[in-house]
Structure 1
């Protein structure tokens, strides 16, 4: 187990609680041992198991390996009553660009600039992934989540790229929605959504909101 930092240690404590009845045994490793994905396995060749690591470290590895699509299937659990039952929607986020690229610096003391990078190539790639996913899984609609009303260039390029790719999939309905409104609509009527595709930061927000829709008991 590689707890990482931030909320990592707290999350991993919860993971251990979930698996306490399993035959697993845990070996806690320092986060730096997981930085090199192709280095010799820190547990040695004779051990077999699963390495659990905190999300911040996972994002670092994801960018190095170009793991560009994060797919979260939000599905209600049978027999577990929540505010919204029988939910079945998919959240797809691009995870190599945007604010989570950690491209920030302190220009002068007390002034920090954080760069949000959006490219046509990677925006089209994640849009195509979303439409291909919808096609393969028999989904009927893809919704692009954005903030192009304010970030007209960056999110505008993402939105334009999604619209261009949508034209290649005439059998899949395409919509777009501003991130603010998307959050409100998910709380009020999540059944209107099927597959949602979005940049990285919005995906992190929507992932957690959607988890609450299927996890909070009435």
Structure 2
């Protein structure tokens, strides 16, 4: 009888993690380049005389599907076309992002809007001429000003098997080193565009309703189990 109580409790713990990811995803619907969180669940078989399947807390992972592109016309906005990432230098080391909104500092350094240097394919910061005229960025990341090549934005591919740790909102740090992209047939840069979040708000709201109802059902199951335990104790104790 007690196992039913523990199974319901394990389910509530798993559902709480799912609620946390839904809340985080909904809070970042409008975050450029954001990749949604998802939770994978497994059953844990307890080593009892009669095996019992408990719900694990689940593992959180980051969905890699691209978000929709929006044309801005801003020459310092870029979007990644394909399965690649922009490299940025952060206090935690090199991170990778799909948020391609950039700026040029008075010293000429190309940075993200959060102030992190954008890297070339050799992981070096990119320096431009703040007074060098219009910035043009080709599909392969090559940057020109006044018809002169002045640098190139690096594109990097993260292995599908790599685990991703989130850095701030839109950036990630993989546990396997990312490799520079050298073939721009399948991957490239689109100037004047920004990639949005890949969060589907309708799907997240649907998940929220399902999780809320399931949480209520497990709460009812816990209450029923506790009531049955109390009845059993009264019966064994000779009380009516």
The structure whose residues are more often strand, as a share, is 2
Using the size of structure 2 for normalisation, the TM-score is 0.22
Using the size of structure 1 for normalisation, the TM-score is 0.23
The structure whose residues are more often helix, as a share, is 1
The structure with the larger Rg is 2
Q: Which has the higher contact order (CA 8 A, sep 6+)?
A: 2
